[in-house]
Structures are given as structure tokens and as C-alpha cells.
Structure 1
Amino acid sequence: MPRPETDPETGPPAREKVSDPAALKALAHPLRLRILRHLGAAGPATSTTLAAVLGENTGTLSYHLRQLAAGGFIEDVPERASGRERWWRTVRGRDVRRPAPSELTPAEQAVADTLDRLRMADDMRLAERFISGTDAAEGWARGSRGLSHLTREELNDFHDAYLELLSRFSRGPEEAAPGARPIALRWFGVPAD
């Protein structure tokens, strides 16, 4: 799968929407989410380097890397290959969206629910870090909360505007400016009543 590149004249590429239940199934595993998080934060890696960082064996990691590649979430880095060693990187510019429940079979709904629970557990860990204040004291944490009365269409427009903003500031470790750190960004909107 080709990597979307930023065009200096038109700006960031459009985010590719991913809502295929089979692709989402590739994400619904805790180790795969850890792999994606590491590749997104640290950049390309091999199964050997990932094994050392994540405390798993290379055979297990190779299997999960193939599953993520089949789902289109990671790709080979051919220019870094040497011998049998394969380097992997995240595929940037993907907008992973959960299909409507009416579009899912019961088995696919169970997978989507598992993915939601895994992501929420990760989000709670991030929230705990935010609350601890250490990163904020160093100037590395920002947050905002708000309340608005929106129609469903306006909520969708807000979401799309957020994705455009995210795309504008989206950089991987290879494109990051000196001194940049990986920053986890989260947004969700739910009815308050």
C-alpha cells in the first residue's frame, strides 16, 4: 500500500477511511496495538528490535506484524532491508472508523467491542498521565474540555474538522522536527444528557 505523501502545494493528503471489519480485526489485539504505538512513536523497526522493546519473541512478533500488514496498517521499508531482516513502519494517513452496528455481524460486533475496550484502556492510561501533571509541568501536555449544543450533522462536521487539523499536524518520527516528541491526541464527543 503506498504511503500518502504531503504535497508542498496542496498540503497533507486526504485521510484514507478504513471501516472494513476484517481490517479492524487486525487491530483488536493488545500486542498489535502496542506494536503500532511503538512504530508510530519510535519509527521503523524489525521483529528483533520490537521483541527486545516489547518483551515478546520474534516468532510471535512476526505473526502479528504480518496480520497488521494484511490489514494495511504497517508496511515494509524496502530501502532498509538487509538479508532476511525486514523493517516495518506504520502506514500514515489512515482514518479508522467503526462501522455502524447495523452493518456488522454479531462476530464482527464482538471484534469492534474488543477493539473499543483495548483503545479505551490505553486512553485511560494516557488520562492518568495527564492528571499526574508531570508532563504538563514540563510544558508537554495540553487539554481542553467544552460543551456545545450540536445537531448530528454539526457533530459530524466538527469531527471532520478535527481530522483535517490532525492531518495538518501529523508527522511521523522520520519527518519530525528536532526536539519533537510523540504526542498522543484524542477527541471524542458524546451526548451530555
Structure 2
Amino acid sequence: MTESPHQDRTAPHQGQRTVSDPATLKALAHPLRLRILRRLATAGPATATALAAVLDQNTGTLSYHLRQLERAGLVEDDPHHTTNGRERWWRGVRGTEVRRPPRSDLSAAERVAVEELDRAHLQEDIDLVRRHADRPAEEDEWAPGSRSTLHLTQEELREFHDAYLELLQRFRRHRTEAGPDTRPVAVRWFGIPLDDPRD
């Protein structure tokens, strides 16, 4: 699953499903659900019991959140595993791209859900930054980064964002299509003005 924090002008890649409805965003606005989706994306299909063990949760809690994600169309049964009356195998819905609508298009209640999702994403990103800072020396080649300051117009910032999304598409491949030397890598980009418009 891919998240884009902005409504952008680029068309979804062939085979991708774009979701931006408030109900789906509300279903995502839970830290454990984001962890479930990350785990399915990086490690592949799993049962609720297996997910509960690796995410340090009980099976009942995992099953509840999986059902909420299923209702939102974000997870589904894995067709390569038959249940035969046993536990279901779950996988993330392939090609799903989540895009946040402009806040001006949202009701007050919908804005609350989107803000909850933003906070969950922020905490996840803070954890990733800590992992980056604490990485062992042998991981340096797997953890490049860049910090820059640009002087841009609003239109240029939008162009930069669209170009970033196009670059993601160029390198995107599903876990099952990845070669033996690949690893799941978190990639993040955001832009924020450094000046205060009130000054």
C-alpha cells in the first residue's frame, strides 16, 4: 500500500486502485492497523495468529482489526492458501494507493479522522527516523538520505511532488516480483515552509 498525503494531478498507475474516501481513511487511522498493513506488505500473507505473535498482540484483537481493514477494502483472503476450516490467510489488497483529499473538501468529523491518520503516520515516521539514526555501520549503504532547503513557488512545489510520485512508480514492484537481493525500504518525502507567514 502506498500513501500520498496530498491530492495530486498524476493519474494512478495501471493496475492501481486509488482510495481517498473518508471511511477508508478512518479505518486506517489506527497505529496497529498500519502495522498490520506494513507487515503484510513486507512479509507477505499471514494468519491472525501469526500476525498477533509478531506484533505482540492477542489473536482476538488482531482478528477485529483485520475485519475492519477488510470492510475498508484494504485486506482480503489470500487465494494461495486454503483454510479448510482453519484460520484465514490474509494479504493486503495489491495496488492500493491511499490519497488524502484536500481538507477543505472534508466535513469536521472527516477532518478529525484524517488528523488521527496523520498523527499515526507521524509516529511511524518518528520511529523510522530513530531506526535510521541507530542503524549499525553495516547498514549504511541501505540507509541513504538527503536534507535540503529549496526556494520554490507553490506551483514548483506541486511539480516536485508529482515528479517524486512518478519516480516512485518507476521503481515500484510488488514483493512477489522482487529479486533475491531486494529488501523492503521505507521511502518518505514531505515539504513544509520554514518561514512563518505571520512574521
Whether TM-score is above 0.5 comes out as: yes
Say if 2:21 is the partner of 1:48.
no
Partner of 1:36: 37
Point out where structure 1 has 5 or more consecutive residues left out of the alignment: 1-11
Please state whether the residue corresponding to 1:79 is helix, strand or coil.
coil
Structure 2 matches for 1:62-101, cutoff 5 A? 62-84=63-85, 85-101=87-103
Point out where structure 2 has 5 or more consecutive residues left out of the alignment: 1-12
Partner of 2:126: 124
Q: How does the TM-score come out when normalised to structure 1?
A: 0.85
Say if 2:117 is the partner of 1:111.
no
Q: Deviations over 1:9-54 (max 9, x none)?
A: xxx6364332110000110011101101111111111112111111
Shift of 1:148: 2.1
The CA distance in 1 between the partners of 2:115 and 2:138, in whole Å, is 32
The structure-2 alpha-carbon separation of the partners of 1:15 and 1:152, relative to structure 1 and needing over 3 Å to count, comes to farther
Equivalent pairs, count: 182
The structure-2 alpha-carbon separation of the partners of 1:65 and 1:191, relative to structure 1 and needing over 3 Å to count, comes to same
The CA distance in 2 between the partners of 1:14 and 1:163, in whole Å, is 16
Please state whether the residue corresponding to 2:46 is helix, strand or coil.
coil
Q: Deviations over 1:92-132 (max 9, x none)?
A: 33332222222222221111111111110110111112122
**AA at the equivalent of 2:19:** V
| Displaced runs of 4 or more, over 6 A | none
The CA distance in 2 between the partners of 1:135 and 1:24, in whole Å, is 37
1:162 aligned to which of 161, 164, 170: 164
The structure-2 alpha-carbon separation of the partners of 1:168 and 1:35, relative to structure 1 and needing over 3 Å to count, comes to same
The CA distance in 2 between the partners of 1:133 and 1:60, in whole Å, is 31
The CA distance in 2 between the partners of 1:133 and 1:49, in whole Å, is 27
Say if 2:143 is the partner of 1:141.
yes
Q: How does the TM-score come out when normalised to structure 2?
A: 0.82
**Deviates most, 160-169 or 113-122:** 160-169
CA RMSD of aligned residues (A): 1.9
The CA distance in 1 between the partners of 2:60 and 2:135, in whole Å, is 39
Q: Percentage identity across aligned positions?
A: 57
The structure-2 alpha-carbon separation of the partners of 1:151 and 1:92, relative to structure 1 and needing over 3 Å to count, comes to farther
Partner of 1:5: none
Q: Deviations over 1:147-173 (max 9, x none)?
A: 222222222222122112212222333
Q: Deviations over 1:53-103 (max 9, x none)?
A: 112222221221121122222222122122133221122333322222222
